[in-house]
Structure 1
Amino acid sequence: KAILRSFGDVFKNSQFNTYAFTGAIAAAGLYAYISGSPFVFMELFHVSEKQYGWIFAFIAFGLITASQVNNLLLRKYKSEQIVKASLICQAICGTVLLVIAWIGIKSLLLTILMIFLFLSCQGFLFPNSSALSLAPFSKNAGTASGLMGAIQMSIGAGASALVSIMQNSTALPMSGVMALCAFLSLSVLLLSKRIIKYKCSKEAVEEEEVEMISTL
């Protein structure tokens, strides 16, 4: 009961829900890439296993480098700003990937570039969304961290499964799921922030009404 109560307390926090689900859905794009990229590169573009290894390493380098650059950006920008900008960039790259797969453009360099940029954004998203998710907690930080990890793994597994289910011998399943994750994540962020803003303004109005009544 104590554990369930702790989970319930964490889920009641709007900031946790906003950034935990935003980060998890965005990270699901990475799972979609890992699930679909072997087929896309080795079967569609006919690269060798060795070449695929180099491509995978190059894209991973972008993600790792971005996480280091993130430390520099935090000196000038807020985590909230970095998360929003990264999601917009991911949505654009995901759209390009989806369009070139849809119309049948087989450009290895363009595909690598878009995936590189898409996943480099993840290097900015993960540390900032994690920090923002856990920021409200001092008492239940461990519970919040575990819950955030469970959410991420669950959504990521769903994205990987979706790529496999949609497999149709094209790049569309991988590209489509990556684009879907980017747009869903951005939508969750914008919608959640609007809801939080509405609740805050409503509470402010209620407080003003209480103050007015108390002065009568």
Structure 2
Amino acid sequence: MNNVKPIYLLSDSQLLFSRNSTGQYFLASVPDDIGKTNIKAVYIGWSNGDRPEFYELFKEGMSNLKITDCHMISSEFTATDKQNLQQADLILLAGGDVNAGWKRLSETGAAGIIKEKYTSGAVLIGISAGAIQLGYRVPFEADNESVEMMKLVPYIIGAHDEANQWSDLKNTVRLVGADGIGIPFGAGFKYYPDQRIEIINKDKELFYWR
């Protein structure tokens, strides 16, 4: 586990393109975390139905970090897709429908590969639904049950639900008895292997429930 890297959890894609007060991209630390120059980055958009325009945004965000070797992992999960995922240094899980994306991640075995990649040193980025999938459980009920996710981050994650005062997240925290973190629009955090949390955009406040 000595090679395990931080996980980036983002509410939305703004932080792929935003800069801090010093003019540095908020995610500028990603290549340093990976620790190599020839970085292979893959994008999983199964929660949004493999929409190509979002993959284009991913590539643009990666170019801001000087990462150009990018691949889209299709929901067909071909042999080439699996090979690209297994070789990835960076894996991004996109937003969309949490449960639809999770169903495909589970039935293809991709979720297991992502966990293996994490323990062997890949950097993971989850955006919205992707952030939830890297967390402990879905922050709302599906068929009267809060579905378990990858549990790489030991929190129930909520994303950009401040308009509803995080009601689903708070209810699930009470139901399950686990801790929760709400990530508002424009915000994100790094979760370190030693369980430290670093807020990425310090102008934004995370919301915690126990």
TM-score normalized with structure 1 length: 0.24
Which of the two has higher C-alpha Rg? 1
Normalized per residue, the structure richer in strand is 2
Normalized per residue, the structure richer in helix is 1
